[in-house]
Each structure stands twice: as structure tokens, then as C-alpha cells.
Amino acid sequence: MGISASRAVCALVFLASTAIAPSVWAHAHLKQPTPAVDSVVEAPQRITLAFSEGIEPGFSGVVITNAQQQVVKTGAVKRDEKDKARLIVPLDQALTTGTYRVDWHVVSVDGHKTKGSYSFSVK
């Protein structure tokens, strides 16, 4: 029992299309947060989130909360001028000792929405 030529061609076209256009299914995923996930750090002056692809800062945001679920005051979230896949969140005040949660949502340049969260601690 063999594969017909038309089925083989269809399979090759499908495989080629998935290899050529992987960005069709792409979303901006968090690649490298600073401070890192579950890390223990000195009080940072800003939070930096690096994504897998460029993001639209006007449709993206970050909320940081402490262990008592109080929102930490931040400056305006902005995209790094040199890296369109990096968000910078300046902190208006020094973080005190404790655990913090970072909730983020972004819209990538291709229009896909993603969100997530992670925690870190300040010693």
C-alpha cells in the first residue's frame, strides 16, 4: 500500500508552509524578566521584561503588587528604544523586603495578545 503522488505533494506543501511561516502562530512570550522568576535580589530600580518578539507599548501594561496585594507605584511603562521586544517599568519608590508579583499583558506587533505573571523577592 503506497502513498499517492497527490497525497505526497499535499504533505510536502503543508510541511513547507509550516516551516516558512512560523510567525503566523507567534505570540510575544516572556523570555527574560529582570529580576528573574523566583529570584531573590537587592531592591531593583526598574523591572525589565524581554519578549520573544516586538510589542506595542500603548496596548501593554505591567502591575506589580506586594505580598499584601498592594499595588506598587511605577512610572510609565515604556518600550526600550533599542529593542522593540523589551518593556521597561521604572519604580517610583524603593521596594522593601518581601515578595512581589509582576502581572503583565502585551500586544505583539502582529496583534496577538498574551499575558502572564511571575514573582521575585527582595532581601
Q: Dump pLDDT digits (tens) for 13-51.
A: 454 444 444 444 568 999 999 999 999 999 999 999 999
Q: Judging by beta carbons within 10 Å of its beta carbon (0-12, 13-18, 19+), is residue 108 exposed, middle or buried?
A: buried
pLDDT at 3: 65
Q: Are 61 and 116 in contact (CB under 8 A)?
A: no
CA 84/CA 78 separation, integer angstroms: 10
> Closest Cα partner for 74 from 60, 88, 59, 86?
88
Whole-model pTM: value is 0.78
CATH class of 28-122: mainly beta
Cβ atoms within 10 Å of 100's Cβ, excluding its own:
21
Domain boundaries, the chain: 28-122
